[in-house]
Structure 1
Amino acid sequence: MKVDSLRQQTKLCAVCQRPFQWRKKWQQCWQQVRYCSERCRRQRHLVAATKESSHRDPHR
């Protein structure tokens, strides 16, 4: 893919659900990028725990 077309791409952060755009530092690994920031990457386990607990039956 051309760099110009990559710059126009956006993704949603897996933690905060905010859109973020391609950055030059992600040029080699854009396909694997899931988080908009280091802070969100560090908090990924908190989101997973929240999602897991929300799927449990509250009446048990």
Structure 2
Amino acid sequence: QKICVVCNRPFTWRKKWEKVWDDVKYCSDKCRMSKQKT
């Protein structure tokens, strides 16, 4: 489990993140996009 750097909500490991889990910082694409704008 990790905490999203944008919304501070916890999120859990997902199969699609299996190979990139160490690099995952956002719970969703929405959070990832909002981070890039600011």
TM-score, with length taken from structure 1: 0.59
Structure with higher Rg: it is: 1
Moved over 3 A (4+): none
The Cα shift of 1:17 comes to: 0.1
Question: Please, which runs of 5 or more residues in structure 1 have no aligned partner?
Answer: 1-9, 50-60
User: Percent identity among equivalent residues?
Assistant: 50
The number of residue pairs the alignment matches comes to 38
The aligned residue for residue 26 of structure 2 is 35
Q: Which has the higher contact order (CA 8 A, sep 6+)?
A: 2
* Structure holding more helix per residue: 1
Normalised to the residue count of structure 2, the TM-score between the two structures is 0.92
Aligned to 1:14: 5
Once the two structures are TM-superposed, the CA of residue 45 in structure 1 deviates from its matched residue by: 3.6
